[in-house]
Amino acid sequence: MMTVSISIASGKGGVGKTNCAVNLSLALCKQGKKVVLFDTDFGMANAHILLGTNPRHSAASFLKGEAKLDDILTEAPQNLKFIAGGSGLLELLNLNNETRYRMLQSLSSLEDQIDYLIVDTPAGASDSTLFFTSATDIPLVVLVAEPTSFLDAYALIKAAHIEKGLTQFSVMVNMANSASSAQQNFKKFSEICNRFLDVKLTYAGMVPQSNAIRRSIVKRKPITIGMPSSPEAKLFTDLANKIPSLPHNEHDGITFFSKDKG
């Protein structure tokens, strides 16, 4: 199997994107997959907090030449490997594409060692988000049932489509009231996108509004580990099971684990 790269993106902050990235990564690990979670949200990096890990090095150390790739791969629960973003570093917020490309090329050396690379991108449609989203096989957009989330997710998909040529997007609805309302919200959102853009959206799954998830975040113990038999953990397992069937983007841009090796 080729290494599959998945970006977790959202139009706005506060929709639970990082929690989804962490729990999806752990759900894949529980299936015996080898997974690296890469936090590219260099300004507000917080995946390490949700994982309860304290990385000695971050992507920042690597990009400054202070650490090798092996040094920045932190051990996390369930044999997950994790690359911390390094928060609040202004020079990292203004990375140019050349520096991002260097990071992307370096991670290519992991291709034979891992099954999945999960990339937690900054909320919104910044250059950094568009770069990392277009570099992955599967862009997974996290949405909540609020007008602002719809508007901002639409803006993100439009930018990725127009600037980067992406046509396939997977969508998961977070903090949903029920499975059926999640499906309805996806359908509504999909219709808006299809009306104005030549893109295809695929429903990846949902996770409900949940006190158990809120408590797991406060405790720094992801729900897939702290409450593995909970309905919420099962929904992350369902999402992990769906990943192999989600459509990939085919485009000429720069990607992780470039497929054109010869």
Least confident range from 46-60, 112-126, 162-176, 182-196: namely: 46-60
Q: Is pLDDT larger for residue 100 or for residue 180?
A: 180
Q: How far apart are CA 6 and CA 154, in angstroms?
A: 19
The pLDDT mean for the chain works out to: 90
Phi and psi angles of residue 103, each rounded to the nearest 5 degrees, phi first: -65, -45
Q: Mean per-residue pLDDT for 85-111?
A: 74
Q: Say if strands 74-75 and 81-83 run parallel, antiparallel, or are unpaired.
A: antiparallel
pLDDT the model gives residue 3: 92
pLDDT the model gives residue 92: 56
pLDDT the model gives residue 261: 39
Q: Any idea which residue has 């729990």 for tokens?
A: 23
Q: How many CA atoms lie within 13 A of 180 on its CB side?
A: 0
- Per-residue pLDDT at 119 exceeds 50: yes
Q: Mean per-residue pLDDT for 165-187?
A: 96
Q: Is pLDDT larger for residue 96 or for residue 119?
A: 119
pLDDT digit string, tens, across residues 144-162: 999 999 999 999 999 999 9
Output Rg (C-alpha) for the chain, integer angstroms: 17
Q: Mean per-residue pLDDT for 66-75?
A: 89
Contacts with 261 (C-beta within 8 Å, 6 or more apart), sequence order: none
Q: How far apart are CA 201 and CA 178, in angstroms?
A: 20
Q: Mean per-residue pLDDT for 42-71?
A: 82
Q: How far apart are CA 153 and CA 261, in angstroms?
A: 33
Q: Mean per-residue pLDDT for 26-41?
A: 94
pLDDT the model gives residue 37: 96
Could you tell me where the DSSP H helices lie in the chain?
17-30, 47-51, 59-63, 69-72, 90-93, 97-107, 127-134, 147-164, 179-196, 211-218, 223-226, 231-242
Confidence of residue 55 (pLDDT cuts 50, 70, 90): confident
Confidence of residue 94 (pLDDT cuts 50, 70, 90): low
